[in-house]
C-alpha cells in the first residue's frame, strides 16, 4: 500500500495543472534554489554543485545551492516541504531524509509520499569504510578484531544520528557481531576534518565526500559497500570481498520538489537533468565520486525511493536502531 500510494503521488501533481506545457515553457523565470541538507564539503553538496552549474547554463538563470544542515538532512527536507510549489525551491533529496528518517523518526514533520514530488535520481554511491591516517588496522578483518578486543571503544564518525553512515555502521555491527562507538557530526565536512586529524578512527563515509581525501592520502580507503567495485575506485575491495557476504549500504541523491509541484515543471527538470548527467565531463566527475545509475524517469525514482523505505525499515526493526527525535 505504501509503495502504491507513493507512486500515485509522484504523478498527482498533473491533476493540479490543466496545461503543464505552458508552465514548463515559462519556467524558470527567476533564480532556482537547490537546498542541501548538509554543510559544504560533503557528498550531497558536491553533487548538487555539479548539477547546479550545468542547469544554470542551460536555463540562463541563477541556480543557487543553499546549505541547511541539521538532523542528518531532515531539517532541509522539512523546509522544502513547506515552500511554494512553483519550482523555485528544490531539494537534493537524500537517503537520510527520504528512506531512513521515516523509520527512525516517528515525529517527522513531513510525509515523503505526500509532501514531495520525486523528479530524478542523480546517483547512487557506495559508502567507503575509511580510516584515519594513523590507524594500523586497515583491513576489515583487522577492524573487526580491534572492535572485538576493545568493545564500544573504537570510534566511527557519521554525518548525524540516523544518517546513511550511521546505518551502515549498525549493519556492520550486526553482521560482525561487535560493538563500536558511534560519533555523530553535523555533516560530512566536520566528520572528515576530525578523521584526518585522527580525533576519530573510522567512518562509513559517502564515497562522494571521501574520494578527494582518499586520493590525496589524507585518509585510508579500506572497503566499499556495494556488491561491485565502483569505477572510480577499482583498487579498493568491497565489504563482500573481505568476508561480509551481501553487505550493501549505499548513499543516493536525487532532486525532489514540494508536494504540489506541477508535472510540467517536474518533467522539464527531469529532462534537463538527464541531459546534464549524460554530459561527458559530468559523467567523468560522477565516476570519480562513485555515483552511478542516475537518470531515468520520475517513476523510476519514485519506485526506487519506495523500495529504499521498505529495505531500511527492516534494518531499523531487526537492529533495534533508535535515534533521538
Q: What is the pLDDT of residues 35-55, one digit of tens each?
A: 999 888 778 899 999 999 999
User: Burial code of 87-101, b = ≥16 C-beta within 10 A, e = fewer?
Assistant: bbbbbbbbbbbbbbb
Assign 324 a pLDDT band (cuts: 50, 70, 90): low
The yes-or-no verdict on residue 133 having pLDDT over 90 is: yes
Over the stretch 187-226, which tens digit does the pLDDT of each residue have? 888 999 999 999 999 999 988 889 999 999 999 999 999 9
Tell me how far apart the 2 most distant CA atoms of the chain are, in Å.
Answer: 65
pLDDT (tens digit per residue) in 93-108: 999 999 999 999 888 9
Within the chain, residue ranges assigned H as helices are 2-12, 20-26, 43-59, 74-81, 95, 101-104, 112-115, 140-149, 164-176, 188-196, 207-216, 263-277, 280-289, 298-319
Percent of the chain with pLDDT over 90: 73
Q: What is the pLDDT of residue 14?
A: 41
Whether the Cβ atoms of residue 180 and residue 173 lie closer than 8 Å to each other: yes
Q: Choose the most confident range, by mean pLDDT, from 21-30, 43-52, 169-178, 192-201.
A: 192-201
Distances (CA, A) of 162 to 33, 58, 105, 182, 286: 25, 36, 9, 11, 25
Q: How confident is the model at residue 76 (pLDDT cuts 50, 70, 90)?
A: very high
Backbone angles phi, psi at 184, to 5 degrees: -80, 140
Identify the pLDDT of residue 25.
65
Query: Distance (Å, rounded) from C-alpha 168 to C-alpha 162?
Result: 10
User: Cell digits for 298?
Assistant: 520520475
Q: What is the mean pLDDT of the chain?
A: 90
Residue 5: is its pLDDT beyond 70? no
Residues 168-187, mean pLDDT to the nearest whole number: 93
Using one digit for the tens of pLDDT, what is the confidence trace for 289-307?
889 999 999 999 999 999 9
The mean pLDDT value for 253-274 works out to: 97
Q: What is the pTM of this model?
A: 0.80
Question: Between 21 and 260, where is the model more confident?
Answer: 260
The pLDDT of residue 13: 42
| Band of pLDDT at residue 16, cut at 50, 70 and 90 | very low
What is the rounded average pLDDT of the residues 23-41? 87
Specify the pairing of strand 220-224 against strand 116-131: antiparallel
Amino acid at each position: 500500500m505504501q509503495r502504491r500510494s507513493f507512486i500515485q503521488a509522484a504523478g498527482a501533481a498533473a491533476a493540479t495543472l490543466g496545461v503543464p506545457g505552458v508552465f514548463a515553457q515559462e519556467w524558470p523565470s527567476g533564480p532556482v534554489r537547490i537546498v542541501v541538507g548538509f554543510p559544504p564539503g560533503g557528498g550531497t553538496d558536491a553533487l548538487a554543485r555539479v548539477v547546479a552549474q550545468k542547469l544554470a547554463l542551460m536555463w540562463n538563470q541563477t541556480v543557487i545551492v543553499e546549505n541547511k544542515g541539521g538532523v542528518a538532512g531532515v531539517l532541509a527536507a522539512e523546509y522544502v516541504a513547506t515552500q511554494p510549489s512553483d519550482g523555485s525551491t528544490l531539494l537534493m533529496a537524500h537517503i537520510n531524509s527520504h528512506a531512513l528518517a521515516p523509520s527512525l523518526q516517528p515525529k517527522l514533520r513531513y510525509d515523503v509520499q505526500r509532501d514531495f514530488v520525486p523528479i530524478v535520481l542523480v546517483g547512487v554511491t557506495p559508502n567507503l569504510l575509511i580510516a584515519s591516517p594513523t590507524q594500523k588496522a586497515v583491513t576489515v578483518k583487522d577492524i573487526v578484531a580491534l572492535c572485538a578486543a576493545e568493545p564500544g571503544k573504537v570510534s566511527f564518525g557519521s554525518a548525524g544520528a540516523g544518517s546513511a553512515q550511521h546505518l551502515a555502521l549498525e549493519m556492520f555491527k550486526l553482521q560482525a557481531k561487535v560493538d563500536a562507538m558511534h560519533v555523530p557530526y553535523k555533516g560530512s565536512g566536520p566528520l572528515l576534518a576530525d578523521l584526518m586529524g585522527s580525533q576519530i578512527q573510522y567512518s562509513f563515509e559517502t564515497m562522494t565526500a571521501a574520494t578527494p581525501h582518499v586520493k590525496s592520502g589524507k585518509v585510508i580507503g579500506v572497503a566499499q559497500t556495494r556488491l561491485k567495485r565502483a569505477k572510480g575506485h577499482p583498487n579498493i575491495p568491497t565489504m563482500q570481498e573481505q568476508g561480509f557476504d551481501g553487505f550493501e549500504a549505499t548513499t543516493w541523491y536525487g532532486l525532489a520538489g514540494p508536494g504540489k509541484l506541477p508535472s510540467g515543471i517536474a518533467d522539464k527538470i527531469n529532462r534537463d537533468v538527464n541531459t546534464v548527467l549524460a554530459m561527458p565531463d559530468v559523467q567523468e566527475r560522477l565516476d570519480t565520486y562513485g555515483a552511478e545509475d542516475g537518470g531515468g524517469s520520475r517513476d523510476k525514482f519514485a519506485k526506487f525511493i519506495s523500495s529504499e523505505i521498505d529495505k531500511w525499515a527492516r534494518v531499523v526493526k531487526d537492529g533495534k536502531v533508535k535515534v533521538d527525535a
